[in-house]
Structure 1
Amino acid sequence: MTESDKMAGIDPVRLSLDSKFNFECHPGVKCFTKCCRGINIILTPYDIVLLKNRLQLSSEEFLALYTEPQLLEKTDLPVITLKLLDDDQKSCPFVRDDGCILYTDRPTACRYYPVGTASLMHKEGADDDGFYFFVNEPHCLGFEEKKEWTIREWREDQGVDIRDQVNAEWTDLIVRKRSFPPNIKLTEQSKKMFFLASYNIDKFKEFVFNSTFLKRYDIDSETVEKIRQDEVELLKFGINWLQSILFNNGNFKINNSSPESPDS
């Protein structure tokens, strides 16, 4: 379940990929854009890459202008939420009366709506990757429309299946940390590294290529070239590195010929 869904007090009813529902959102629906106001949207790492590129900003500029940090419940991990406008409705900065000005690059949470998702990875006894539920907000009239979907069709139509693939290891990392006992805390340095690799992709790239990082770790030349040229590959690389330094669960090998620290 997303953090925004929890804050809304939504009680999920488990749905499968083949569960059916009626829904459509368009300017003719009276509540159009109401779901874009008074919201709490957690941005995924891939959301930030797409949005900062769409706005032609660096990741650091985007974070400063359009986001706010929060600590995610039961994880002690920093997450990024969209900074809302200081208007009467607490609107998304990208919504207008006729819709979203960044619609093709809208965040994953917006794409899923009115469907929510909950991950079960690293939950004892889990036999799948998660389940789905409806976000039944009283103002939403989209459920009264005639267009029928399955959850599977909705995910594909909205492009969340692709985004979930990119964010899968990051989501798994958060679920893994949530399962830890409350007394196990991350160091401030670990939180900074999590924030850097998850959200500030441009600064993380500088860290990898302009520090002793590539001397400290044994990274093959093909991977180095991939992450130099492709931000999505760099993002996946960074999340895998986080798995390694936070949970000793990544594919990173220390280069024993170098005494340098990765934090150098």
Structure 2
Amino acid sequence: MEAPILFYEPGSPPCRVVLMFLLENGIPHKIQRIKLFEKDHLKPEYQKVNPFQKVPAIQDEDGFYLAESHAILKYLVRTRASMVQEHWYPSDPRKRAKIDELLDWHHSSLSWCTKVTVWNAVMVAKFMKQPQSVSIPVVEFALDRVKKSLATLEQLIGDGPFMIKGMEQPSIADLSIFVEIDNLRLLPSNVLAYIQTNTPTSNAIEDRNSRYYFSWTEYPRLCRWMERMRQLKSYSQVHQSFEKVVAMLHPSTTNRNAFAKI
């Protein structure tokens, strides 16, 4: 089979998920960079690739296009079965059903609240320098949902090594959820204070008991799972740019190694 083309933006967690999966399974591929800040995804030629005008997307042989990271992962499992290790999406119908369950929950519950929180606190307030345009009630609601989602995952993983009970190796659900949560390392410990300190008339809140305070120490089992996921051989290669951004945002913290210390 021909090598699929991955339309890719390194700042996108779903893009990083697909690239990690390709690398973990040794699937030959090509990468075409889509620069979101230059609005490549809105250009007519990309609309032919993905009418939803988002990343990631792939182009396979015979001009077949497919978008959405979960759909892409499952397609690669089916079309590159001889290359893909069984544990990523087992043929056992019950294990596969539990993976699908987690993937659906990821999109319906976890994904949107992490994106809203990171977008407002980091992209809008910090990089775009428009903290005054951030809706504090929206951030409050999204961050509350983030914490509830992480608490759910903390209970779900229990004492097992990975998200699916009885599995000793990661699945595509582990991979998708991990990269989404890992993106939260862009956040400071006090989200509201971070937004306010980028505002000219700042009166930042520093109360560690504040509902805006975010701490990884509340999720020890989840953090241990994340450290296991970070040991995947593709992680460092795919997250080089991401790690630089984390270090730039939080140069005086140990955020980069947060999971290893819990």
Query: Structure 2-normalised TM-score?
Result: 0.29
Per residue, is there more strand in 1 or in 2? 1
Query: Structure 1-normalised TM-score?
Result: 0.28
Per residue, is there more helix in 1 or in 2? 2
Which protein, 1 or 2, shows the higher relative CO under an 8 Å CA cutoff with sep ≥ 6?
Answer: 1
Bigger Rg, which one: 1
